[in-house]
């Protein structure tokens, strides 16, 4: 099973897709690339949005998209890309922000992230809330993510990061040590499509199958 665990495909749920037609094209591009499961992860910013408003918007946009999908479309799994903030562990609806049917939450690091300053909130999500934390596109900020990976936390890579030599040594080290459990297209519009996902699959070789296996295990939690 080919899994894209980070995609912005819900129409008008965030700045990822501007219409149902764009979303349908995104889903079609994923299908053509052999994606079997496509996670819809719209942005949730606790500083500017409420969980209630976000969850209502996500459900409405998801229903609109699903009503137009063909029978051969990939499975759509609702989730969220949640920006980490101090105290996020106290959010009443925190479990509803996980990938549906799991205890796995995708967190985006804020621009002012420092591990020691956010460590208590991250630990509370894991141990008090019982969630499995995965950090989104850790390839974007490898220096900030390094202490998280060293501490045993999990990360997701954008497929585009595996299509060039830049930062590749560090990323492969994270993959080989088991820290990377998912790939994502992080698709917002339709311009790049899934060409980078396919290139990453080719470049990774057998490691691609290992990451997909980790993603399947992750979603069983």
Give the residue extent of every domain in the chain.
Answer: 3-218
Low-confidence ranges of the chain (pLDDT < 50): none
- Find the radius of gyration of the CA atoms of the chain: 16
Query: What is the pLDDT at residue 138?
Result: 97
Enter the tokens of residue 37. 């499961």
Query: What is the pLDDT at residue 219?
Result: 97
Model-wide pTM > 0.85: yes
Query: What is the pLDDT at residue 175?
Result: 97
DSSP letter, residue 212: H
Query: What is the pLDDT at residue 166?
Result: 65
Tell me how far apart the alpha carbons of residues 136 and 140 are, in angstroms, rounded to a whole number. Answer: 9
Closest of 167, 169, 108, 110 to residue 139, by C-alpha: 167
Which CATH number does the domain 3-218 belong to among 3.40.50.300, 3.20.20.140, 3.40.50.1820, 3.30.499.10? 3.20.20.140
Query: What is the pLDDT at residue 199?
Result: 95
Query: What is the pLDDT at residue 117?
Result: 94
Burial (CB count within 10 angstroms: exposed 0-12, middle 13-18, buried 19+), residue 15:
exposed
Query: What is the pLDDT at residue 47?
Result: 92
Tell me how far apart the alpha carbons of residues 200 and 195 are, in angstroms, rounded to a whole number. Answer: 9
Query: What is the pLDDT at residue 168?
Result: 85
Cβ distance 196 to 185 under 8 Å?
Answer: yes
Parallel/antiparallel/unpaired status of strands 154-158 and 180-184: parallel
């Amino acid at each position: 099973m080919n899994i894209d665990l980070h995609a912005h495909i819900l129409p008008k749920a965030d700045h990822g897709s501007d219409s149902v037609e764009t979303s349908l094209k995104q889903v079609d591009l994923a299908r053509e690339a052999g994606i079997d499961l496509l996670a819809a992860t719209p942005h949730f910013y606790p500083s500017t949005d409420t969980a209630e408003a976000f969850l209502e918007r996500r459900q409405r946009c998801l229903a609109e998209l699903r009503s137009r999908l063909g029978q051969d479309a990939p499975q759509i799994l609702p989730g969220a890309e949640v920006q980490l903030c101090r105290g996020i562990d106290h959010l009443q609806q925190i479990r509803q922000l996980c990938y549906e049917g799991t205890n796995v939450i995708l967190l985006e690091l804020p621009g002012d992230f420092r591990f020691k300053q956010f460590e208590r909130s991250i630990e509370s999500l894991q141990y008090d809330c019982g969630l499995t934390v995965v950090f989104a596109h850790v390839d974007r900020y490898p220096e900030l993510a390094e202490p998280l990976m060293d501490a045993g936390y999990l990360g997701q890579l954008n497929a585009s990061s595996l299509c060039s030599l830049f930062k590749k040594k560090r990323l492969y080290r994270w993959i080989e040590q088991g820290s990377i459990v998912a790939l994502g297209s992080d698709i917002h519009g339709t311009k790049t499509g899934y060409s980078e996902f396919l290139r990453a699959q080719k470049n990774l070789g057998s490691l691609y199958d290992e990451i997909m296996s980790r993603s399947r295990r992750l979603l069983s939690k």
